[in-house]
Structure 1
Amino acid sequence: MTSGPQTISSRDNALLKDLRKLAQDSHAYRKQGRIWLEGDHLCRAALQRGLQPAMAVFQMSWFDRVGHDWTDAGGKVVIVEDALFDTISSLESPGRMGFVLPLPASPALEPQAPTVVLDGLQDAGNVGTILRSAGAFGFPQVLAMKGTAALWSPKVLRAGMGAHFGLRLIEGVLPEQLDALQVPLLATSSHQGDYLHRAKLPWPCAWVLGHEGQGVSAGLAQRASQFVRIVQPGGEESLNVGAAAAICLHASAAARS
């Protein structure tokens, strides 16, 4: 870390105000060009991927106890009085430390990559869960259609548990941009298509996961080469999209094996 930590003891400090916005506003990362990672786990996940924070922010009492563990993290060090650190966090139990990283540049779409397409998903928990499943089951590219929850927002980052840093993430995608994909699109459905356990799944492919209530939009449905549904003998009308994604992506990984 660089020498000379900055200590913040005023609620009206300009940097503290910027950090609050970054931590609490889902879209602030786009305006500021940087992202907020809160908590030991997320910060370590970033370091393990070779990312270096522009700023490391610590609750004062936490820094006094474990600051020596982070001497090689890099970036400017900011120490915030305990009560003030709590005003940054949007979590019920604040994470006691956080990193500020530059917002990663949006990568180019990879036409042949195994892909997950998020079609208007709104729930940050669902989106983060799906990113974790994508990373676990070998889908390195995630395309978020315009209208999907902000991928680099604090809530999605928290739910993703570090999965972001191993994925190619592209936001604000329009339907016509999917035409550049050279892999078949498989659309999830609750009422049509082959049952997943019987379906012949191509590899590589792109799974299209629809809005929690409305499902896959018409613009993407017409681009799908195959519809797939999950057998539900228990009688529920539909699965949570995060659970459905894990089942579908696992089936693809198993079929590939």
Structure 2
Amino acid sequence: MSTPKVLHITARDNPSLQRLRKLSQDAAAYRKLGSVWLEGDHLARALLQRGQQPTLAVVSEAAYAEPALRELADAAPRVLVLPLALFKSISGLESPAQIGFEVAHVAGLSPLKGVDSVVLDRLQDAGNVGTILRSAAAFGFRQVLALKGTAALWSAKVLRAGMGAHFGLRLVEGLAPEDLDGLDLPLIATSSHAQSQLHQTRLPSPCAWVMGHEGQGVQPALMQRCGLTVGIPQPGGEESLNVGSAAAICLYESARQRLA
């Protein structure tokens, strides 16, 4: 590994810090600026473990004095070392993690055909989106396809909820229902009115699971494209499950049948 260029920064108006503030404060800023801010050593290590590289590391003076965090920061070609008060000015956390990476964002990806996928239909809650990304990665789904109106996949809140799952997935945003027609995959949705129950249904593989808006469910134009709907048994009598919980159950059942 080459020796990084290390700069000690004390000016609040440094251009790199101004850019990072925008990335941490504006959920969709990565689309305009072409990079993503990963705060915390967990996300930074998850990126490196997937064989990906940051463009910049930012670390507090105290953190850079710790050997483990210094080694982590030095994985980047450029390192900015800041006083803690200045690091707090770019942090999106109440208790700043004192280290973060800036990573180039690749926009304009197209969906891959014929691979296990998850479709997010206008999900609004960043925690739900990040949770579903974690489940997708854990259960062997290779890509997540977000329709227009879904929470920004690379926002700081979704990144934190995803806990590193982003780096093992192909993530495509801004799609319309008709963009899914070329997937060469059967689409599956859940419904409380479905005749088939999840645990009694032989699921197609590969497939694309469709997860709908927290309050409105799957939009009609997308539901019409689903060749299969299944119900999740709820013997406790609740009206419905949180979409993150429902997704985990469905993706697990797909993985279980795939490995059986």
Normalised TM-score (structure 2): 0.94
Query: Where do 5+ consecutive residues of structure 1 fail to align?
Result: none
Match of 2:82 in 1: 80
Match of 1:186 in 2: 188
Q: What's the CA shift for 1:193?
A: 4.0
Match of 2:12 in 1: 11
Q: What's the CA shift for 1:60?
A: 1.4
Checking the alignment, whether the CA contact within 8 Å between 1:189 and 1:216 is kept in structure 2 is no
Q: What's the CA shift for 1:97?
A: 0.3
Alignment length, in residue pairs? 257
CA distance in 2, matches of 1:181, 1:92: 41
Query: Where do 5+ consecutive residues of structure 2 fail to align?
Result: none
For residues 156-208 of structure 1, what are the alpha-carbon distances to aligned partners after superposition, in whole Å with 9 as ceiling and x for unaligned?
A: 11111111111111100111111001111001223334211112211111100
Question: What is the CA RMSD across the aligned residues, in angstroms?
Answer: 1.5
Q: What's the CA shift for 1:254?
A: 0.8
Q: 1:170 aligns with which of 152, 169, 172?
A: 172
Displaced runs of 4+ in structure 1, greater than 6 A? none
Match of 2:257 in 1: 255
For residues 46-88 of structure 1, what are the alpha-carbon distances to aligned partners after superposition, in whole Å with 9 as ceiling and x for unaligned?
A: 1111111110000111111235423651321101110121121
In structure 2, give the amino acid aligned to 1:192. A
Checking the alignment, whether the CA contact within 8 Å between 2:120 and 2:150 is kept in structure 1 is yes
CA distance in 2, matches of 1:69, 1:190: 51
In structure 2, give the amino acid aligned to 1:83. A
For residues 84-129 of structure 1, what are the alpha-carbon distances to aligned partners after superposition, in whole Å with 9 as ceiling and x for unaligned?
A: 2112111122111000010024433222111100000011111111
CA distance in 2, matches of 1:190, 1:20: 43
For residues 16-60 of structure 1, what are the alpha-carbon distances to aligned partners after superposition, in whole Å with 9 as ceiling and x for unaligned?
A: 221111112101101110001110010011111111111000011
Residues 96-107 of structure 1 mapped to structure 2, 5 A cutoff: 96-107=98-109
In structure 1, give the amino acid aligned to 2:111. L
Q: What's the CA shift for 1:240?
A: 0.8
In structure 1, give the amino acid aligned to 2:204. P
For residues 121-157 of structure 1, what are the alpha-carbon distances to aligned partners after superposition, in whole Å with 9 as ceiling and x for unaligned?
A: 0111111111111111111011000110111111111
Identity of aligned residues (%): 60
Checking the alignment, whether the CA contact within 8 Å between 1:185 and 1:223 is kept in structure 2 is yes
CA distance in 1, matches of 2:189, 2:137: 19
